[in-house]
A and B are shown apart, each in its own frame.
Chain A
Amino acid sequence: MSKQIAVKVDDLTVAYNYKPVLWDIDLEIPEGVLMAIVGPNGAGKSTLIKSILGILKPIAGSVSIYDKPYEKQRQLVAYVPQKGSVDWDFPTTALDVVMMGTYGSLGWIKRPGQKQKKAALEALEKVGMLPFKGRQISQLSGGQQQRIFLARALVQNASIYFMDEPFQGVDATTEIAIINILKELRKAGKTVIVVHHDLQTVPEYFDWVTFLNVKKIATGPVKDIFNDDNLTKTYGINYKVSIQE
């Protein structure tokens, strides 16, 4: 394959309190894929994303984004954290949360202005949340909160998107709306990496997959490696998933 490598992870080991939760991960994610990271609870999926984004400091190994360290490439990367990682009672509105996506391009001290507000409104429109722009975030449903997070990532206008369980607690309509936006991103040549729990939908939604459980089990095109063998290795029990063509 002649495709460029968007994200490269080398010998990454990450520990909490000296107890490694990711062991020696090697990973290459080619540009332009829509990739699922799958693995059981506690497998280290969120930890992997946080380490790639410099939120956690690994005890060994390195990460590069288009051949440069993450710190030099922040502008190319957008992040949707797991929904439960923030306090939804925080005194702020949907629009304000989406505006936070623009803070990275502003840098320290500079304040967001009209341009940033316009971008945020456009992103809200795209995820169908414009009518809720002034709503306090605790008064949004779980699916609406997830859409707000997605809008915040869209406003970053990045090349690579990392999303930690964007489908968590959303209904079928929202799930389809979100996956359509992700597919649109891929069509525009972006790389999208999604932590995903619903194994049934992996072949339908994604073209690339990484199996993770403390160690990397496998990574590659869904059609080549999404099989019972890898699922069993990852989840430890005998997994059977029917793969539609």
Chain B
Amino acid sequence: MSSAQIEIQLIASLVAIACAIPGTFLVLRKMAMISDAISHSILPGIVVGFFITQDLNSPLLILLAALTGIITVVLVEYIQKTGLVKEDTAIGLVFPILFSIGVIMIAKNANDVHLDVDAVLLGELAFAPFDRLIVSGIDVGPKSLWIIGSILIITIGLLFAFFKELKISTFDAGLAASLGFSPAVIHYGLMSVSSITTVGAFDAVGAILVVALMISPAATAYLLTNNLKRMLIYAICFGVFSAISGYWLAHWLDASISGSITTMLGLLFLAVYLFAPNKGVIAVMYREKQQRTEVSLLTFLLHLKNHTEERERHVNHLNEHINWQKVRSKTVLDLALKNNMIKFDKNIVSLTEKGEDFTSQAIDYIITNEDAQIEDMKDDFFLFRG
């Protein structure tokens, strides 16, 4: 690997981490679309900043552009507050207008501005290593690496300091407000971080990839865990994994790096969506099938418990009586046998002691919903896992 290749992967990974952190909270706040809005509406901010500084990597430009991001959020909220339109409509009204203003500004000054819309939307990670930061004659690395690195450090610092505040105001804004943690302060704090990250990252990876890196890893992580800290860590890992594997995919296909990273994000989401152990589509289907069998098992055991007369418990009779197809009956009988819940005596089926216990316990649970007593059964039976 050449040093340029390493630098590109490093930049992409840092961008992924810096995006995953605010992205997790945006997803949990159901504000994914706001990141899309911010990523587009910063364009006029970037253009104005560029007129003033003539340098796409200037901190002043980043702050000016981030300010446009905040203005977007304020405008969206203002329009929404009138009660005339819903939030998604308000977003759809605001950001195309701001974006268009940026486009017109670029077009009007095309001659003296070295800036084009494509670059803003798609970025060009491959060129990032060429724009170096030179401090008193010494090359200290690509400028975008320094920019995104600084933003990342600030983001992580804020996350550690305000994790509890972010959590409570995201989960229950009312309680947060009543305890004195102003949800508005946290909301605008999060919006500012999202805006600054978007601006800091767009030059390297483009506005569209920024949105993908904020939302997709968080959405993927959400399918895998019920713990906020773990969700953050997973989101960061997925972001970095997609960044690096996407880079190599682009290398191999000779295609756009941003596009390849976004593709990897999509594939990763698809894989988790299908195969996640609890919320994944396949796991849910398996669980439902298993639960169906277990309900049948319970029905069968209950039948045995309720009927002492041998006639009712003869193997042949069971088929027609409980009215199942052959296959189903066999699955259920096998399951009961495997768990030592029934025994055969000359084709007469009866409950074992374990079967008796299990049946009464299960019925108890179904009636009372008292969870505590069946905790130990959860490992073996889906029925009890809610």
Contacts and interface: CB of A to CB of B under 8 A. Distances in A.
Interface of A: 17, 50, 53-55, 71, 74, 77, 79, 81, 85-87, 90-93, 97, 100, 103-104, 106-109, 111-112, 131-132, 136, 139, 141, 152
B177 A103 contact: no
A91 B227 contact: yes
Give the residue among B164, B177, B222, B228 with the most A Cβ atoms within 10 A: B164
Interface stretch (B8-16, B89-97, B367-375): B367-375
Given A79-B174, A112-B164, A131 B375 contact: yes
B226 A103 contact: no
B181 interface: yes
B81 interface: yes
Contact of A86 (B30, B171, B178, B181): B171
A54 B371 contact: no
Contacts of A53: 174, 177-178
B164 A131 contact: no
Contacts of B227: 91-93
B312 interface: no
A92 B171 contact: yes
B161 A109 contact: yes
B178 A54 contact: yes
B28 interface: yes
Contacts of A139: 386
B83 A81 contact: no
A70 to B, nearest CB: 9
Contacts of B179: 74, 103-104
B263 interface: no
Give the residue among B28, B179, B386 with the most A Cβ atoms within 10 A: B179
B180 interface: yes
B178 A85 contact: no
A104 B375 CA distance: 34
Given A81-B172, A111-B164, A136 B177 contact: no
Interface of B: 28, 30, 81-83, 161-165, 167-168, 170-172, 174-175, 177-181, 222, 225-228, 230-231, 369, 371-372, 375, 386
B379 to A, nearest CB: 15
Contact of B222 (A79, A91, A109, A131): A91
22 contacts: A50-B174, A74-B178, A74-B180, A77-B178, A79-B175, A85-B172, A86-B171, A86-B172, A91-B225, A91-B228, A92-B226, A100-B171, A103-B179, A104-B179, A109-B161, A109-B162, A111-B164, A112-B164, A131-B371, A131-B375, A132-B371, A152-B175
A97 B226 contact: no
A65 to B, nearest CB: 12
Contacts of A132: 371
A103 B164 contact: yes
Contacts of B231: 91
Nearest to B24: A91
A141 B180 contact: no
Nearest to B232: A91
B177 to A, nearest CB: 4
A96 to B, nearest CB: 8
A81 B83 CA distance: 24
Contacts of B386: 139
B174 A85 contact: yes
A50 B178 CA distance: 8
Contact of A141 (B175, B225, B230, B369): B369
A87 B171 contact: yes
Give the residue among A53, A92, A112, A139 with the most B Cβ atoms within 10 A: A92
Contacts of A111: 163-164
A77 to B, nearest CB: 7
Nearest to B29: A87
B181 A103 contact: yes
A100 B167 CA distance: 9
Contact of B372 (A55, A71, A106, A131): A131
Give the residue among A79, A106, A107, A112 with the most B Cβ atoms within 10 A: A79
Contacts of B168: 100, 103
Given A87-B28, A91-B226, 9 more contacts: A50-B174, A54-B178, A85-B172, A85-B174, A92-B227, A103-B165, A103-B168, A103-B179, A131-B375
B178 A92 contact: no
B150 to A, nearest CB: 22
6 nearest CB pairs, A to B: A104-B179, A136-B226, A53-B178, A55-B177, A131-B372, A79-B178
B171 A90 contact: yes
Contacts of A79: 174-175, 178
Nearest to B230: A91
A53 B161 CA distance: 25
A108 B176 CA distance: 11
A159 B174 CA distance: 19
Nearest to B227: A91
